[in-house]
Amino acid sequence: MTDALPEKGVPGEQILAELQELRAGDLPTHGGRLFAYVYDPALDGLDDLARAAHATSAHVNGLDPTAFPSLLAMENALVGAAARLLGGGPATVGSVTSGGTESLILAVKAARDAHPDIRSPRLLVPSTAHAAFAKAAHYLRVEFDVVPVTDLRADPRAMAAAVTPDTVLIAASAPSYAHGVVDPIPEIAAIAAEHGVRFHVDACFGGWILPYLRRLGADLPDFDLSVPGVTSISADLHKYAYAPKGVSILLHASEELRRPQYFAHADWPGYTMINPVISSTRSGGPIAAAYATLRSIGDTGYLDLARKTRESVAVLAAAVEATDGVRLYAPTETSVVCLASDGVDLFVLADELAARGWHTQPQMAHADHPPTIHLTVTAAVHATAASFAPDLAEAVAVARARGPIELPPLPPLTPEMVTPELIASLAEGLGLGAGDFTRMAAVNTILNAAPPALREAMLTGFLSLLQRPTVR
């Protein structure tokens, strides 16, 4: 890696060439063969438009909207569009955040701070809720109550039984990330309303596509602010609104509900700090890029992108159903294809699919759920979906011939035993020392066998190993 702070400045052309060389080792963000992390509509010219829009506001600071009213206008426009799409009414208000995790943290903060009288506030979620809720509970020191699901969906009866006088927020998913299914939002919202508790719908993942899927005939339950008892909802624009990273929307049903989300501090000699979101200084670039993206695609454009996504899901699901050795693990009712093993090692299969240019997301076993492979399907997959079936069949055949990963006996480990030296040794032994992440079956097998706390410690240690610059 070159020096980020050379003694003398480097010409711009050389720097851009260096960046392109670095990017050459990344997974492809376009082309309909990456089923996680990025969202590609495959629309000509959209990237150029978003980049140009980002450049217009890259140096605009969201710290003070009175200094930069252009950013305030764009934020209000984005919130208004989200409110119309997600069942908002005249009283609906919202904020633009940097992503789904920030939206969820703020939803939890607003609920916690609305009850200063509760000394041990509690957050109640189904076990399929996004890990960002656990992060919010950890950061905000809120007790985290997790309820097992039934048939991959939140169980309303179990959720109702878990409500306590200290519960300040109940949350559910539309849809869940891991499996792509929508929780029974109306039933859980009624429970929350009965107990006088706020209810947040995490639609960060699919909130911008579910309304369009319903217009196309998908049989999905009501899930948005139009449902009585839903007090807030979040939807990421950098997912199925296809805006660049990172922009999310957090909506509240009223200003009164949003008010505790803000942070203000005047008791110091400087300016009064007042922030609706976690960041103080933030670039207007992502917000301008999102504004341009929504304006460019438009409502009918999003409907067409949803149609392409829905058709692609059907093609991929049919390929899974037709292939001996794998099976669909969850209903393909939204934009996710989730497959499980029916005789092959899924982690070996993920490697074999990657070798054929299909980059998927392996998911570890959890409670009663077996390991699965997750495919986030976007509109760009419409052009590639038909070629998935033969590659899947071939990858399954090779994975079956290779057999499952057989690991040597490992010493008993606890999270406290995971040291930098141990992680470095494991990484070297698994071939990760040189940064080659193309064959991950052995790594995933070890992680899958580890209890969650040990898995967390191992992955934390590995990420820390990667994030270690050479200081000369």
Q: Is the pLDDT of residue 431 over 80?
A: no
Taking the C-alpha atoms of residue 234 and residue 173, their distance in angstroms, rounded to an integer, is 10
Over range 225-254, report the average pLDDT: 98
Which domains does the chain carry? 52-293 (3.40.640.10), 299-402 (3.90.1150.10), 415-466 (no CATH)
Q: Are 130 and 188 in contact (CB under 8 A)?
A: no
Taking the C-alpha atoms of residue 95 and residue 262, their distance in angstroms, rounded to an integer, is 10
Residue count (the chain): 472
Taking the C-alpha atoms of residue 199 and residue 229, their distance in angstroms, rounded to an integer, is 7
Range with lowest mean pLDDT among 101-115, 285-299, 354-368, 439-453: 439-453
What pLDDT score does 467 carry? Answer: 83
Q: Is the pLDDT of residue 226 over 80?
A: yes
Q: Is the pLDDT of residue 305 over 90?
A: yes
Q: Which helix (H) or strand (E) holds 346?
A: helix 346-355
Q: Which pLDDT band, with edges at 50, 70 and 90, does 287 fall under? A: very high
Taking the C-alpha atoms of residue 140 and residue 138, their distance in angstroms, rounded to an integer, is 6
Over range 91-104, report the average pLDDT: 97
Taking the C-alpha atoms of residue 454 and residue 37, their distance in angstroms, rounded to an integer, is 25
What pLDDT score does 366 carry? Answer: 93
Q: Helical H runs in 220-284?
A: 255-258
Q: Is the pLDDT of residue 251 over 90?
A: yes
What pLDDT score does 436 carry? Answer: 66
Q: Which pLDDT band, with edges at 50, 70 and 90, does 409 fall under? A: confident
What pLDDT score does 428 carry? Answer: 78
Q: Which pLDDT band, with edges at 50, 70 and 90, does 3 fall under? A: confident
What pLDDT score does 434 carry? Answer: 60
Digit-coded pLDDT (tens) for 21-64: 989 888 999 999 999 999 999 999 999 999 999 999 999 999 99
Q: Helical H runs in 92-223?
A: 100-113, 131-140, 156-162, 185-195, 210-215
What pLDDT score does 263 carry? Answer: 96
What pLDDT score does 407 carry? Answer: 79
Residue 249, φ and ψ in degrees, nearest 5: -120, 130
Taking the C-alpha atoms of residue 175 and residue 184, their distance in angstroms, rounded to an integer, is 10
Average pLDDT, the chain: 94
